[in-house]
Amino acid sequence: MSTSTVQSEVAPVLSETIKDSTQIVHLEENSNKQITGNNQDANDEGRQNQSTSFLEIPSLKNKPPDILRMGMTTKHSTVTAEIKYNYLQHREEKVPSMFKTGTVSPILKKGKAFYGVENYRGITVTSVIGKVFEYIILNKANLMKSGQSPLQFGFTQGLSPNMAALILSEACSEISGKKTIFVSILDSKKAFDVVSHEILMDRLHVYHYGLNLNLWNIIEELYSGVTSTVKWKGETSTSFDIHQSVRQGGVLSTHLYKAYINELLLDLQKRNLGTHIGNNYVGCPTCADDIVLLSLNREEMQEMLNIVDNYSKDHRFNIHPQKINVIIKTGKK
């Protein structure tokens, strides 16, 4: 099932379902029967009742099997209780520790040599119910649907990275005669891996991005006390603490990263640095961490590069030195 399908169907279904505390209590009572039963028959009966009661929830009737299977993971009484009391009722705003841990699998980047450590990308696998939890947050928070730079085309519903490529193509096609356009292509080094949690939460707090205080607290809690293991050649490492990064493979990660660098794009536009097509500002088309700077003036381009450099230092990330490209295109004579 595709990511868009999960986001559009699973999150609303499960968030709607688990809002009904009476139904959740019913699930928990059946779970308790399973745990405290006096014999195996009682345990089997408890499991059967539990599954039946979950499938009888009105909002889950006639849903695809994949959604039901994801929903069935809530049969564990401890998880159900933690979600109910700590998230849905917003009493303690605590996130279960199982949602904060994951297993990193190093994946070799396309076309790279297997013997170079830097040639691997760490993809984190988390629990299914943890992903559902993040989908619920995403659905409630409307992250980046307001306040996002119009030139951010990465991981944005209704937009495509091809639109950024189209802007670049159109801007270059406008050059004629003695005109010159300067194009700088930038890529952040280890972008997701170096995100500072402290700075990220500050960005979310200052610019809101559709968050109320309650959801902000939940996201902060989700990134507090994060742990991970590494799986390599069938072996799994001991758990270790994670003090920075948004996980590659996480539901919220791309949206949080866009919030992390959004101020840079807005600042360039506010200063009116870069080129225009007609009256439309198109100075910095971006796809997640890949930024293209467009300017008709050498000095202006240098100023834009200085702003990016200062922003990267303030936000503790680096522009990849081997992936910087500057192209100078002149008009046809």
**Tens digit of pLDDT for each residue in 121-159?**
999 999 888 888 888 888 887 776 678 999 999 998 889
Confidence of residue 91 (pLDDT cuts 50, 70, 90): low
Q: Give φ, ψ of 93 to 5 degrees.
A: 55, 40
- Tell me what pLDDT residue 69 has: 38
| Higher local confidence (pLDDT), 265 or 331 | 265
pLDDT at 157: 86
Q: Name the residue ranges covered by the structural domains of the chain.
A: 1-92, 142-227+240-333
pLDDT band at 206 (very low <50, low <70, confident <90, very high): confident
Q: Mean of the per-residue pLDDT values for the chain?
A: 78
Q: In the prediction, which pLDDT does 50 show? A: 42
| pLDDT score, position 83 | 52
Which residue type occupies 101? T
Is 80 exceeded by the pLDDT of residue 33?
A: no
At residue 216, what are phi and psi to the nearest 5 degrees?
-60, -45
Mean pLDDT for the stretch of residues 187-202 = 94
| Topology (CATH) of 142-227+240-333 | Alpha-Beta Plaits (3.30.70)
What pLDDT was estimated at residue 138? 86
The percentage of the chain sitting over the pLDDT mark of 70, rounded to a whole number, equals 70
In 3D, which of 45, 15, 23 has the Cα closest to residue 33? 45
pTM for this prediction: 0.73
Using CA atoms, how far apart are residues 10 and 145, in angstroms rounded to an integer? 19
Window from 83-87, 126-130, 170-174, 270-274 with minimum mean pLDDT: 83-87
| Confidence at residue 210, expressed as pLDDT on a 0 to 100 scale | 63
Q: Give the model's pLDDT for residue 141.
A: 79
**Mean pLDDT, residues 327-331 taken together:** 91
- Look at residue 244 and give its three-state secondary structure: strand
Alpha helix segments (H runs only) across the chain: 3-5, 11-18, 21-36, 40-55, 65-72, 77-82, 128-141, 161-173, 197-207, 213-222, 253-270, 298-314
Q: Is the pLDDT of residue 49 over 70?
A: no
In this predicted structure, which of 8-12, 317-321, 323-327 has the lowest mean pLDDT?
8-12
User: Would the pLDDT of 203 be above 70?
Assistant: yes
Position 56 confidence tier, pLDDT thresholds 50, 70, 90 = very low
